[in-house]
Amino acid sequence: MAQPLAKKDDDRDDEAEYSPFIGIEKGSVLQEARVFNDPQLDPRRCSQVITKLLYLLNQGESFTKVEATEVFFSVTKLFQSKDLGLRRMVYLIIKELSPSADEVIIVTSSLMKDMNSKTDMYRANAIRVLCRITDGTLLTQIERYLKQAIVDKNHVVASAALVSGVHLLQTNPEIVKRWSNEVQESVQSRAGLVQFHALALLHQIRQNDRLAVSKLVTSLTRGTVRSPLAQCLLIRYTSQVIRESGQNTQTGERPFYNYLDSCLRHKAEMVIFEAARAITELSGVTNQELTPAITVLQLFLNSSKPVLRFAAVRTLNKVAMTHPMAVTNCNIDMESLISDQNRSIATLAITTLLKTGNESSVDRLMKQITNFMSDIADEFKIVVVEAIRSLCLKFPLKYRALMNFLSSILREEGGFEYKKAIVDSIVILIRDIPEAKESGLFHLCEFIEDCEFTYLSTQILHFLGNEGPKTSDPSKYIRYIYNRVILENATVRASAVSTLAKFGALVDSLKPRIFVLLRRCLFDSDDEVRDRATLYLNTIGGDGSVGETDKDVKDFLFGSLDVPLANLETCLKNYEPSEESFDIDSVPKEVKSQPLAEKKAPGKKPAALGALPTGPTSTIDAYEKLLSSIPEFSGFGQLFKSSVPMELTEAETEYSVNVVKHIYDGHVVFQFNCTNTIPEQLLENVCVIMDATEAEEFSEVASKPLRSLPYDSPGQTFVAFEKPVGVPAVGKFSNMLKFIVKEVDPATGETDEDGVEDEYQLEDLEVLPADYILKVGVSNFRNAWESMGPDNERVDEYGLGARESLTEAVNAVINILGMQPCEGTEVVPNNSRSHTCLLAGVFIGNAKVLVRLSFGIDGPKQVAMKLAVRSEDETVSDAIHEIIASG
C-alpha cells in the first residue's frame, strides 16, 4: 500500500508545481485584460483572464481606483457576448470589484435587462449581482421584480432572490420585511433549496418577535417542511423556542419535544443528528428524554462515514460532562474508535471513555491509550492528559497505573505545553492523593534529569523543596537536586540552591551534607547562585556562625512574602547604605495602586488626584498626605484603603466627575474629582449633595466644597460619612453636583460677576463589601494556610444558581470579595467541571484572611461552592461568609 500512496503524493506535488496561478502578477494580468476590448471576443481567453483577476482579488491584492475602474469598464463590454460560461464569470467579477455609485449605473441597465431575460441562469445571477451592488434608491425600483422572483417557478431564480433578501436584510430591513407573504409562500415550495433559504429569511425577518417565531415553529413542525436542510434549520429554531419558553411546569411536558423525537426517525442522516444534538443540549434534560438521542448517536458510531462518526463522538463527549452514566452504553462502540484512522475521532473517543469509564476498565484503557498516544499531535495529547487527571481524581485507588502512564509519556518527545500539562497533572495528583506523593516526586526527579524547559525545571524544584523534606526518605532526592547545580543554566542552578536550603532547614540529619553542597555553590560563575548560597548558609548556620532560630528559618524559607514586591522594590531603591541594615518590617504592607492616574482625554476626564505631586511616592501615600492636610478629616485615623476612580458621568459630557472611596476604620470619605470641559464657563462653590437614604448605617459628618473650577483644570470636592467602627457597612448613594455658573469671555478671559445656580445629576455609587478588603497576595498559599491554623476556620457550602460557566462563577465571587487570587487559580481550565480558587487579603482592622473556594457543576449549569475561610480573627471569618450569603 505504501508505494501507491507515495505515487499519489508525487502526483499531487506535480499538480501543485504546475498550478496555473503560480507566478501571477497584477501588472501582467491587467495587460491581458485588454482582450476584453477586442472586436472579436474570445470567450475562453476572456474567462481565463477573469479567473486570474478573481484569484488576485481573493488573495488580498488591492487594485488602485484607476485600475479597478479600467477593468470594470472593460468587463461591461462583455455583456454583448452570448456565451453562458463567460457571462457567469462577468457576474462574478462585477460583484468582486464592487463598483462605486457612479459606476453602478453603467451596468444597471444590462443587469435589469438580464433580470427579465428568458434565460433562467441570467435572471438568477443578475438578481444576485444587483442586490450586491445596489443602494436603497435602486432597490425600491426593482422591488416588484424581486417579489416576483421569490415565487418564481424556477428554483434557481427563487433561491437567488431569497439569498439576496438575507443579505439585504442587514442594510434595508424595512424593504425586505414587506416581502413576508411571498417568503411565506416559498416555504411551501417543493424545491429543497428554496424551502431552506425561505425558512432562513422568514426567521430572520421575525427573529426579534418571540411570539412570531413561536408561531412559525408551531405551524411548521406539523410536517410541511420536507427539505432536509430546511428541517435542520427548523430543529435549531425549535430548540431556541424551547430554551426561551422553558419547561411547562403544569403538565411537566417539554414543548415541541415530540417533534424533536420524531426527527430521530427521519430518513436523512443530517436531520437525525441535528435532532439528537438538540435533545442532548436541552436544559435540564432527563434520562428518559436523552435515551433515544443516545441510541441514535450510538448507531452513528459504527457508520462507514467518518463525518458521522466524528459528529456522534463529539456530541457524546459533551454529554459525558453532564450525564456520564447515560453514555456508558456506548463505551464498547467507542473503544473500537480508539484505532480509528481519523485522529480527531480517536482522541474524542479516548477522552469520552475516560469520563465515562468505571474503575475496572481503567487498566484496559491505559493499554489502549499507550499505543494511541504516539500517533497524535500535542494538542490532542493535552486533552487526553487532562482527561486522565480527572479520571485519577475520580478513582484515587487507580493512581499507580495512571501515574505510571503519565511518567512514561513525560519521558517521550513533546513540546512545552504538552510537558507542562503532564507536570501540572502529576503535581495535582500528589497534592490530592497522599499515597501518590512518593512515586510522583520520583517521576518528577527523573524528568528534570533530561528536561529541556527551564520553567518546568524551576517549577519542579520549587515543588520538590516544599514536599520532599516531608517524605519518608528525603535523602534520595538530594542527588537529583545537586545534579541541577552542576549541569544546568544559571536560573535552574539558583532554584536548586533554594531547594537544597529547604531540605537543610527541615531535615536535621541532612544538614551537614547540605552545608557541604552549599559551600561548593559559593564558587559558582553566576552572582545570584553565589548570593543565594551565602544567604542560606548564613540563615541556617552553615557558615560557622550561630544561625537563626528554627522558626525564623522556616518562616523565611517557607513563609509567604507578606509585603508587595512593588513596595519592597521602592524601599530598596530609597535605602541609603549605612551601618543600619535594611529592615523588611519597614516596608508598607498595603497594596499600592498604579501611579497617579492621568486624564483620559485632555479636558474631558479628571485626574484621579488632581494636582498631587508625582514621583516615587505611591498613590495611597499621596492620598493619605492629601486627606491628612484637610482639618475636617485629620482625626479619622489611619487610612485603610483607597479605591480606584469610578466614573460618575458619561464620556464627552460637559462636566466630568469620578469618585475615589477612602476607607477608614470608622469613616468613609468620598473624593469627587471634577473637570469643567466648557471654555465659556467658570464654576464656583462646587459641591456634591449625597443622598444616603439607601445607606442607613452612614451619617454625613463633613464636606469640603471646591471654591473654583476653571475650564480644563481638575479639582476635588469631598464628603465624609461616619459609620460603625470596624464594620463593613454597605449602602447606595444618589449624587447631585451643585455649583454656580459664571460666563467667561474666551477671547479676553474676563468673567461675569453675576452667576446662576445650577445642578447636574451624577450616577449612583455604592459602598460594597469588597471596599473593606485589601488585595494582599501570598507567595505560598499552602504554607500560609497551614500556618494560620484551623482555630478560626469557618466552612460552609452555597448554591450559586445557574451560571454560563465555572469561569463566570469564579469571577463573580472574586469581584464580590475583592481579594487577591493566588497562584493563578483565577483561571479555570477549559471544560473543567470543578475548580479550586485561592484568595488572600487583609480585612479592615488589618486582619489577614485566606479563602479557599471549591466550585463544582451541580446539575445543568447549576454551580455549587464550598467556602473555607481562615483568619487571625474569627469574627472576620464569619464576616466573609456573611458577605457571600448576602451577595
**Distance between CA 166 and CA 803 in Å, rounded?**
34
Say if residue 538's pLDDT is above 60: yes
The verdict on domain 771-886 having CATH code 3.30.310.10 is: yes
* pLDDT at 6 (0 to 100): 42
> If you search the block for the grid coordinates 421575525, which residue do you land on?
206
Q: How far is CA 12 from the centre of its chain?
A: 40
Tens-digit pLDDT profile for residues 323-363 = 878 888 888 888 888 778 888 888 888 888 877 766 677 77
Q: Which helix (H) or strand (E) holds 719?
A: strand 715-722
- Each residue of 663-677: pLDDT tens digit? 998 899 999 999 888
Stretch 512-531: mean pLDDT, rounded?
90
Q: What is the distance of C-alpha 607 from the center of its chain? A: 31
Which residue bears the cell 529592615? 583
Q: What are the residues facing 738 on neighbouring strands? A: 687, 759
Pairing of strands 731-743, 756-761: antiparallel
pLDDT at 619: 66
The whole-model pTM stands at 0.52
pLDDT > 70? residue 612: no
In three-state secondary structure terms, 760 is: strand
| Predicted confidence band of residue 779 (pLDDT cuts 50, 70, 90) | confident
Do 425 and 406 contact (CB within 8 A), yes or no? yes
Q: Which grid cell sits at 390?
A: 480527572
For the cut 60, the answer to whether the pLDDT of residue 78 exceeds it is yes
| Nearest by Cα to 852 from 872, 871, 879, 833 | 871
Residue type, 103: E
For the record, the C-alpha cell of 1 comes out as: 500500500
Contact between 145 and 115 under an 8 Å Cβ cutoff? The reply is yes
619-767 homologous superfamily: Coatomer, gamma subunit, appendage domain (2.60.40.1480)
pLDDT reading at 276 higher than 80: yes
| Residue bearing cell 459628618 | 701
CA 661 to chain centroid, in Å, comes to 30
Residue 240 has pLDDT above 90, yes or no: no
* Distance (Å, whole) CA 268 – CA 271: 6
Q: CA gyration radius for the chain?
A: 36
Q: What is the pLDDT of residues 630-687, one digit of tens each?
A: 888 888 888 888 888 898 988 777 888 999 999 998 899 999 999 888 888 888 999 9
| Whether pLDDT at 464 is above 60 | yes
Q: Annotate 788-805 with DSSP letters as a single string.
A: H-STT-EEEEEEEEE-S-
Residue with cell 411547562: 248
Say how many C-beta atoms besides its own lie within 10 A of residue 137's C-beta: 8
pLDDT on residue 591:
54
Q: Residue 316, exposed/middle/buried by CB under 10 A (0-12, 13-18, 19+)?
A: buried
SS3 682: strand
Which residues lie closer than 8 Å to 115 by C-beta, 6 or more apart? 122, 123, 126, 127, 130, 142, 145, 149
Q: Which pairs count as long-range contacts for 755-759, CB under 8 Å and 24+ apart, including other chains? A: 755/684, 759/689
Per-residue pLDDT of 724-778, as tens digits, reads 887 888 899 999 999 999 888 877 778 888 888 988 889 999 998 889 998 888 7
pLDDT-derived band of residue 555, with 50, 70 and 90 as boundaries? low
DSSP-assigned beta bridge partners for residue 848: 842
Nearest alpha-carbon partner for 423 in 400, 406, 446:
406
pLDDT at position 8 is 43
Binned at pLDDT 50, 70 and 90, residue 4 comes out as very low
Residue 840, sorted as left (phi over 0), alpha (psi -120 to 50) or beta, turns out to be beta
- CA 265 from chain center: how many Å? 39
Q: Which of 10-24, 338-352, 527-541 has the lowest mean pLDDT?
A: 10-24
> Helix or strand or coil: residue 460?
helix
pLDDT at 610: 40
Per residue in 821-879, pLDDT (tens digit) is 887 788 887 767 788 899 999 888 888 899 999 888 876 678 888 899 999 888 888 88
- Is residue 64 pLDDT above 60, yes or no? yes
Structure-block grid coordinates of residue 794: 469557618
Residue pair 168/204 in contact (Cβ under 8 Å)? The answer is no
Listed ranges 513-517, 591-595, 634-638; the one with the highest mean pLDDT = 513-517
pLDDT of the residue at 595: 35
Q: Which residues pair with 839 in a beta bridge?
A: 821, 851
Q: Does the pLDDT of residue 611 top 50, yes or no?
A: no
Separation CA 878–CA 331 (nearest Å): 47
Nearest to 773 by CA among 626, 661, 621, 855: 661
Q: Distance between CA 566 and CA 590 in Å, rounded?
A: 10
- HSE-CB at 310 with a 13 A cutoff on CA atoms is 8
Residue 270 burial by Cβ neighbours in a 10 Å radius (0-12, 13-18, 19+): middle
Instruction: Report the amino acid identity of residue 268.
Output: A
Distance CA 380, CA 358 (A): 23
> How far out from the chain centre does Cα 546 lie?
53
| Apex 841 CA angle, 551 and 549, nearest 5 | 5
Give the start-to-end residue ranges of the domains of the chain. Answer: 619-767, 771-886
Cβ-based neighbours of 235, under 8 Å, separated by 6 or more: 260, 263, 271, 274, 275, 278
Percent of the chain residues past pLDDT 90, beyond the cut: 15
What confidence category does residue 550 fall into, taking pLDDT thresholds of 50, 70 and 90? low
Closest CA relative to residue 864, chosen from 855, 872, 874, 851: 855
- Contact 840/826 with Cβ under 8 angstroms? no
Mean pLDDT score, 572-588: 78
Which three-class secondary structure state does DSSP give residue 118?
Answer: coil
**Closest residue by Cα to residue 79 from 111, 33, 118:** 111
Average pLDDT, the chain: 82
Percent of the chain with pLDDT over 70: 89
Nearest to 703 by CA among 722, 731, 684: 722
Amino acid making up residue 549: T
Q: Long-range contact list for 395-398, CB < 8 A, 24+ apart?
A: 395/359, 395/362, 396/432, 396/433, 396/435, 396/436, 397/359, 398/359, 398/362, 398/363
Name which of 68, 64, 57, 56 is nearest 23 in CA terms: 56
